[in-house]
Amino acid sequence: MTTLKIVSVVGARPNFMKIAPFIRAVEDWNKNDGVRIDHRLVHTGQHYDDNMSRAFFEALVIPEADINLGIGSGTHAEQVGQTMIAFEKVVRQFQPDWIVVVGDVNATCACSITAKKERVRLAHIEAGLRSGDMDMPEEINRLVTDRLSDLLFTPDRLSNDNLRREGVSEERIKFVGNIMIDTLEVQREKAKILSVAEIVSGNLKEGQDSKMNVLRGEKYSLLTLHRPSNVDDPQTFGEIVDLLTNELARDMPLLWTIHPRTEKQLKTFGLWIKVVSVDNVLALNPLGYHELLRLNMGATVVLTDSGGLQEECCVLGTPCLTLRRNTERPVTLQEHGGASILVGNDRDQIRRAYYKILQGGRTPSRPELWDGRTAPRIVEALVQKSSLG
Ligand code: UD1
């Protein structure tokens, strides 16, 4: 019996929902006779807070990582450099046949470079996404990772086109669908039975208990923000906070689940007090997978700069304002049948789109192969490619 050695890598929160189905598909594969997969999971440690990491391993039943590189926070060069140094040792010791990376975070890019320098075959899950915006660190990570990958697993056909345009040969591209939706499909029933009020009351930032009484009706909007383009410039971020707290939150309660870097910036720019002092704005800790999914299912509108949330809104049909000028996920936009509108970070544009999108209802849409069976397709392709190669 042949054994195929695979190392897969996670580093930051959005990676965890992508690796969970892959690991399950590997386990399922190993129940059959034939090629056996010896799999090791590496966590680079880019995200390390319990609520940014451990909570997701538990909720999504991801086995503990075999190796944690403990990289933590730092500048981009520090994160990428230290990850490469630590990961090289793992690769040399385990000598895998394949290294599998997901998404577009610094861990993805760092381990891709190491994989190729160690002459190990590299597969990228979520390949071919392009925002065209080189100011985004994730765009640099995507370009590097895809350029180096031997096997590129794409979530939609637009991504295939992007890769072809860049000269990637046809046999390296494999359209498999969106692996995040595998997780959504497995977990949606568990999310559905959660209570919105309990999620909110259990996750409110300190000193806001009195705000629970604004959450009486059915309606609420849901906000997440963490991109440097929105939260790193005091003027831009100040204007967004102003619009949200003074205007949009008047219509209905605004549930804001706040990323650690966003909280840090709110405090640095003196905006924190504004957020916590407005009755209709409920500031929440970063939420677990099921909790955020439940809030998304019930939200009247989502405002976000997260790529994953755009995709979940698409499948759930939640009207979504994407607070970015571009997206690497055009398939989630209304013009492609999705639920999302790009609004950048300009106040007037956000306000106009907000009132417009409220007129429409929920229109779930499921792009091709976003069917919950992406991970088994990936595992099969890896095995097939190995016996050919
Ligand atoms: C990273 C990813 C981004 C992804 C996001 C999801 C890159 C380039 N960016 O951005 O694509 O959408 O994760 O969250 O990889 N922090 C904590 N605890 C943690 C993690 C981070 O407090 O567990 C704080 C630290 O102050 C840190 C800051 O958040 O400096 C930013 O974390 P980092 O991983 O560098 O980037 P993200 O902005 O989270």
Residue 261 Cα to ligand 1 midpoint, Å, equals 7
**Which contiguous run of DSSP H or E holds residue 17?**
helix 13-30
369 dihedral zone (left: phi>0; alpha: psi -120 to 50; beta): left
Give the pLDDT means over successive 10-residue stretches in the chain (389 positions).
93 98 98 95 98 98 98 98 98 98 98 98 98 97 98 98 98 98 98 97 93 88 97 97 95 96 98 95 98 97 97 98 97 96 94 92 94 98 80
Pull the structure tokens for residue 298. Answer: 């019930």
43 is catalytic: no
Residue 42's nearest CA partner among 80, 5, 69 is 69
The pLDDT tens digits of the residues spanning 250-269 come to 989 999 999 999 999 999 99
Residue 46 Cα to ligand 1 midpoint, Å, equals 7
What local confidence, expressed as pLDDT, does residue 259 receive?
97
CB atoms under 10 Å from CB of 383, counted, come to: 19
What local confidence, expressed as pLDDT, does residue 1 receive?
65
Q: Whose CA is nearest to atom 27 of ligand 1?
A: 73
Atom of ligand 1 nearest to the CA of 46: 34
DSSP class of residue 213 equals G
Residue 106's nearest CA partner among 133, 82, 126, 131 is 82
Percent of the chain with pLDDT over 90: 95
What local confidence, expressed as pLDDT, does residue 389 receive?
41
Which of 105, 138, 285, when mutated, tests ligand 1's pocket best, judged by the most ligand atoms within 8 Å of its CB?
105
Atom of ligand 1 nearest to the CA of 264: 26
E-state strands within 149-190: 151-154, 173-175
Q: Which domains does the chain have, with CATH numbers?
A: 3-178+370-388 (3.40.50.2000), 186-358 (3.40.50.2000)
Q: Whose CA is nearest to atom 35 of ligand 1?
A: 73
Q: Whose CA is nearest to atom 14 of ligand 1?
A: 13
Pocket of ligand 1 (CB under 6 A): 12-14, 46-49, 52, 73, 104-106, 137-138, 226, 259-261, 264
Q: Phi, psi at residue 174, to the nearest 5°?
A: -135, 110
Q: How far is CA 388 from CA 8, 23, 55, 271, 362, in A?
A: 21, 23, 39, 57, 45
For 63-105, where are the alpha helices, taking DSSP H only?
Answer: 76-94
Spot the catalytic one: 226, 259, 290, 336: 226
What is the rounded CA–CA span in Å between residue 384 and residue 258? Answer: 43
Q: Whose CA is nearest to atom 2 of ligand 1?
A: 105
What is the rounded CA–CA span in Å between residue 93 and residue 149? Answer: 21
The pLDDT tens digits of the residues spanning 327-355 come to 999 999 999 999 999 999 999 999 999 99
Instruction: Count Cβ atoms within 10 A of the Cβ of residue 87 and give its class: 0-12 exposed, 13-18 middle, 19 or more buried.
Output: buried
Q: Whose CA is nearest to atom 17 of ligand 1?
A: 260
Atom of ligand 1 nearest to the CA of 307: 12
Residue 107 Cα to ligand 1 midpoint, Å, equals 11
